[in-house]
Structure 1
Amino acid sequence: MTVAQLGQLNLDELPPLRGSSRTLDRFQKLEQIGEGTYGQVYMGKEVMTGEIVALKRIKTENEKEGFPISAIREIKVLTRLHHENIVKLKEVVISQDGNNQLAATKESSDNNKYNGGVYLVFEYMDHDLTGLSDRPGLRFTVPQIKCYMKQLLTGLHYCHANEVLHRDIKGANVLLNNNGSLKLADFGLSCSSHLCRENFTNRVVTLPYRPPELLLGATNYGPAVDIWSAGCIFAELLHGKPIMSGRNEPEQLHKIFELCGSPDEVNWPGVSKIRWYNNFKPARPMRRRLREVLRHFDSHALDLLDKMLILDPSKRISAKDALAAEYFQMEPLPCDPKSLPKYEASHEFQTKRKRQQQQLNEETAKRQNLRCPPPHARLPPIHHSGQVLQEHRPERNLSMNQLQRPLPTLPSNPYSEPLVDAGLSNRYPPSMNLTVGYNQTHGVQAQAGGTSIGPYPPHGRVGPYAASNMINRSTTPCYAAGPPGFSHRGPNPIANIRNQQYGWQQ
């Protein structure tokens, strides 16, 4: 190690590490499974043992006052909590390699040349509740919902009994594994409930799960904030999607008032003293419609949900009392966690990324269809020169063999040659004398009483007064096909008189 001169700092080398803390080199990153405001989460593997773990990188490059307070809070709380429904913090490791893929970003490398990353090592969980719920076609059973809710309330009861408020209960922070175990995670916003409540912040809990007291600006609250969030998760599991999801605080409050009624001094004593109550007070009173809107729920589930989503936090049921609710005692009972089905790993980060990629693919496909629209179903196909345009709807009197056979190429002059059999059925009786050109003889009598027809000239119709080319017609009408310009008519007495007058042969 080089020694710096007097009055100068040695910035070329790091001081030697002291203590028994392990570094990130003991782990191998596999893939990213989560990302939040305070860091990224990766699935990793311990090199020596092969154990799969979760590595949560703490963002420090944007911190101006040292280590993030959220990470300190999470480490402090998880070292106190040891429960089967609380995620286990295994250890804290650091990375000093500035070029490491998981270490500090390049943007911060100039100001923090040796600012190594800090990682919290957790036990790995296969899913989170949001990622698992977003799987296409997946619907939880009632025993499965009871199993999950019982574990969720058990974990909350343990936290509240140890005077810890989670303050960010949502589906992404409820972890599951393929053994059926449920664990609460992400205690970065947690706090101790025994502290002075007057200084609590109300900017906690993700918006769709935030209770009304925080939306109205309350800073004095307790464990009831977690119960409201758990009630929103309970309704989401039963309903298949969030029941109250606003885009901002006013819209979220409006959705709560529409379902749970508007607050007043009768149903929530002291609500008018909350600092933002007058700003968000609805123009007209709204009645509570929770049982009406969610009437398709089981009656016992609706009773428990009604107690968890009460506006007044002092009347809200506790986690301990919720565990003793009749809902968990009635058939069907909560299933054994080990009997739950096993799913492919599903985290919110992964499912969201897949959904975004799917939407991108659909938009790309739509743009391509607009550029090259397919031909209309009722329009004929594109006709190329030298090919015959086929009928879109063939005539019904043609047989299947005739439909399958290709149509012939017709001559440019339709009157130059007779239409002999060239892919079509013969249009004339077998006894006809189909001679090319003009025939000076009389027409040939058709068989079976058909029309007596003669050949036709190569250019147009014959003049009406040419004695040698008149067509003799029989007295029996016929609908047999004839050459172009041929008219199927019945007997004409006037024509017979004219034939006798001019001496035309009948």
Structure 2
Amino acid sequence: MYYLQGSYISYIFLKTADGNKYRGSTYMVFEYMDHDLTGLADRPGLRFTVPQIKCYMKQLLTGLHYCHVNQVLHRDIKGSNLLIDNEGNLKLADFGLARSFSHDHTNTLTNRVITLWYRPPELLLGATKYGPAVDMWSVGCIFAELLNGKPILPGKSEPEQLHKIFELCGSPDEIIWPGVSKLPAYNNFKPARPMKRRVREVFRHFDRNALELLEKMLMLDPTQRISAKDALDAEYFWTDPLPCDPKSLPKYESSHEYQTKKRRQQQQRQHDEASKRQKLQHNRLPPIQHNGQSHHPPAHWSGPNHPMNNAPPPPVPAGPSSHHHYGKPRGPTGGPGPNRYASGNQSGGYNPNRGGGGSGSQVGGYSNGSYPPQGRGPPYGGSSMQQANGPRGPSSGYGAGPPNYSQSGQYGNSAQEAGSKPNRRW
């Protein structure tokens, strides 16, 4: 397991009752890592600087290059599997899906690997013979996510994931991807209409060198996809601002993907509860009145404790007839008799306490007036962090040293590389 330096593995074999000493448990113990890339990038208000992104990407590609030259595919590159400590060191983790491969791609491998958002198109189309290019597609998705501030291909299913890929990278055909029509699922997911490649258009706010490197990582044809070794030699890592020294990076409180998921789930629950409250409140509102016409309330609003019925009921009128509340008060006409009304209301008008017309009248506690209405940007251009000097690599000594392994296959001969580019050694 490369780039887990300083860690160790402890194998503990427990003897069973039948004396079989080979049956037991295996414990893998590693040093504590303060963050994973997903948890760190999701911290509120945090945006990585360009030197910081270059620093992380350079470490990721260095570790992946070591895996590939030793013929190992990781097959699960994603932010939560990239661990970072407070010294700025990035390490590859979770090799549970890792497998060895042959350079001639004769091995038959499963295509049900790599988390959906970072899965390359050849696996989604059913390929079972593949190589290091599957990891490089995942690296391209991580790279764009760091620069863009959010995932670039967040599909919810395999068909949707392929559709998002085709919308961004264009629809595949035999011209741009020879042999694609022979993949098992090509006819099932072939787009109904041709789509053009839009990587440069969508990410036009990226730096020119970053965009050039991203284009090479997100090639539909895996044979044209850039390798980890060639990506490390891209101009992006050799132009200002240069990758910063990991030790110069700021220190953060621990942050991991499970904390990010927990926070997102809590926010979703709060949103759902607020939506339910709003819906319940809307259902309890009285009907809206138009053109000054009052509407009788539904039967379920007639309870004495309903909030709309808090107004005191009008007094029951006296007299033999009480079927209406409008007009003059009933009573004997002419002739002597006691005055039924208090002083000051003897004009024969209506009693405001008994209900009546006008803009302020109430019927059954309701007013006939209208109710009131109801109701990852681009990273910073510069950085104050310490930056390495020199045209080809940091002067502080940070970087990958000479490899202690043989290079073969697509990576060529190490001696020839040293002769062609003496200042770039991976």
TM-score by length of 1: 0.52
CA distance in 1: counterparts of 2:242 and 2:209, whole angstroms:
12
Aligned residue in 2 for 1:328: 237
CA distance in 1: counterparts of 2:5 and 2:76, whole angstroms:
14
Give 1:382 shift.
11
**Count of residues in correspondence between the two structures:** 292
In the alignment, structure 1 residue 161 sits paired with structure 2 residue 69: yes
Q: 2:246 aligns with which of 330, 333, 337?
A: 337
Give 1:270 shift.
1.5
* 1:205-354 alignment runs, 5 A limit: 205-354=114-263
Q: Say whether the 8 Å CA contact 1:87–1:185 is kept in structure 2.
A: no
Aligned residue in 2 for 1:401: none
Give 1:173 shift.
0.6
Q: Say whether the 8 Å CA contact 2:86–2:251 is kept in structure 1.
A: yes
* 1:198-209 alignment runs, 5 A limit: 198-209=107-118
Q: Which consecutive aligned stretches of 4+ in structure 1 deviate over 6 angstroms post-superposition?
A: 369-373, 381-385
Give per-residue Cα distances to partners, 1:177-228, cap 9 Å, x unaligned.
1100000100111111238634111111111111111111111111111111
Q: CA distance change for structure 1 residues 283 and 339 in 2, over 3 Å: closer, same or farther?
A: same
Aligned residue in 1 for 2:8: 90
Give 1:123 shift.
1.7
Q: CA distance change for structure 1 residues 384 and 198 in 2, over 3 Å: closer, same or farther?
A: closer
Q: 1:149 aligns with which of 53, 57, 63?
A: 57
Q: CA distance change for structure 1 residues 95 and 365 in 2, over 3 Å: closer, same or farther?
A: farther
CA distance in 2: counterparts of 1:119 and 1:462, whole angstroms:
98
Q: CA distance change for structure 1 residues 384 and 244 in 2, over 3 Å: closer, same or farther?
A: closer
Which of structures 1 and 2 has the larger relative contact order (alpha carbons within 8 angstroms, sep 6+)? Answer: 2
| Structure 2 residue identity aligned to 1:91 | I
Aligned residue in 2 for 1:192: 100
In the alignment, structure 1 residue 121 sits paired with structure 2 residue 5: no
Where structure 1 has 5 or more consecutive residues not aligned to the other structure, the ranges are: 1-77, 97-114, 386-457, 464-506
Aligned residue in 2 for 1:391: none
Give 1:359 shift.
3.0
Aligned residue in 2 for 1:170: 78
In the alignment, structure 1 residue 460 sits paired with structure 2 residue 349: no
| Structure 2 residue identity aligned to 1:220 | K
Q: Say whether the 8 Å CA contact 1:260–1:288 is kept in structure 2.
A: yes
CA distance in 1: counterparts of 2:90 and 2:228, whole angstroms:
16
CA distance in 2: counterparts of 1:361 and 1:270, whole angstroms:
49
CA distance in 2: counterparts of 1:175 and 1:327, whole angstroms:
23
Give 1:363 shift.
3.8
CA distance in 2: counterparts of 1:351 and 1:211, whole angstroms:
25
CA distance in 2: counterparts of 1:287 and 1:372, whole angstroms:
48
CA distance in 2: counterparts of 1:206 and 1:87, whole angstroms:
25
CA distance in 2: counterparts of 1:300 and 1:149, whole angstroms:
14
Give per-residue Cα distances to partners, 1:225-254, cap 9 Å, x unaligned.
111100000000011111112111111111
| Structure 2 residue identity aligned to 1:90 | Y
Q: Say whether the 8 Å CA contact 1:87–1:184 is kept in structure 2.
A: no
Q: 1:136 aligns with which of 25, 41, 44?
A: 44
Larger radius of gyration: 1
CA distance in 2: counterparts of 1:461 and 1:163, whole angstroms:
103
Tell me the percent identity: 68
Q: Say whether the 8 Å CA contact 1:87–1:122 is kept in structure 2.
A: no
In the alignment, structure 1 residue 179 sits paired with structure 2 residue 87: yes
Q: CA distance change for structure 1 residues 341 and 369 in 2, over 3 Å: closer, same or farther?
A: same
| Structure 1 residue identity aligned to 2:200 | R
Q: Say whether the 8 Å CA contact 1:174–1:183 is kept in structure 2.
A: yes
* 1:18-167 alignment runs, 5 A limit: 78=1, 81=2, 85-86=3-4, 89-92=7-10, 94=12, 118-167=26-75
Question: 3-state DSSP class of the match of 1:92?
Answer: strand
Moved more, 314-323 or 364-373: 364-373
CA distance in 1: counterparts of 2:138 and 2:101, whole angstroms:
17
Give per-residue Cα distances to partners, 1:148-189, cap 9 Å, x unaligned.
111111111111111111111011111111100000100111
CA distance in 1: counterparts of 2:154 and 2:172, whole angstroms:
19
Question: 3-state DSSP class of the match of 2:129?
Answer: coil
CA distance in 2: counterparts of 1:339 and 1:175, whole angstroms:
17
Question: 3-state DSSP class of the match of 1:344?
Answer: coil
Q: CA distance change for structure 1 residues 461 and 126 in 2, over 3 Å: closer, same or farther?
A: closer
CA distance in 1: counterparts of 2:278 and 2:161, whole angstroms:
39
- The root-mean-square deviation of aligned C-alpha atoms, in Å, is 3.3
TM-score by length of 2: 0.62
Give 1:119 shift.
2.7
Where structure 2 has 5 or more consecutive residues not aligned to the other structure, the ranges are: 15-22, 286-306, 312-341, 348-426
Give per-residue Cα distances to partners, 1:460-483, cap 9 Å, x unaligned.
3999xxxxxxxxxxxxxxxxxxxx
Question: 3-state DSSP class of the match of 1:311?
Answer: coil
Question: 3-state DSSP class of the match of 1:157?
Answer: helix
Q: Say whether the 8 Å CA contact 2:117–2:154 is kept in structure 1.
A: yes
* 1:354-503 alignment runs, 5 A limit: 354-364=263-273, 367=276, 459-460=343-344
| Structure 2 residue identity aligned to 1:158 | Y
CA distance in 2: counterparts of 1:182 and 1:363, whole angstroms:
37
| Structure 2 residue identity aligned to 1:332 | P
Q: Say whether the 8 Å CA contact 2:101–2:107 is kept in structure 1.
A: no
Q: Say whether the 8 Å CA contact 2:107–2:129 is kept in structure 1.
A: yes
| Structure 1 residue identity aligned to 2:109 | F
| Structure 2 residue identity aligned to 1:301 | A
Q: CA distance change for structure 1 residues 255 and 462 in 2, over 3 Å: closer, same or farther?
A: closer
CA distance in 1: counterparts of 2:270 and 2:175, whole angstroms:
53
CA distance in 2: counterparts of 1:254 and 1:368, whole angstroms:
36
Q: CA distance change for structure 1 residues 282 and 370 in 2, over 3 Å: closer, same or farther?
A: closer
Q: Say whether the 8 Å CA contact 1:173–1:185 is kept in structure 2.
A: yes
| Structure 2 residue identity aligned to 1:230 | V
CA distance in 2: counterparts of 1:288 and 1:252, whole angstroms:
16
| Structure 2 residue identity aligned to 1:460 | G
Question: 3-state DSSP class of the match of 1:352?
Answer: helix
Give 1:360 shift.
2.6
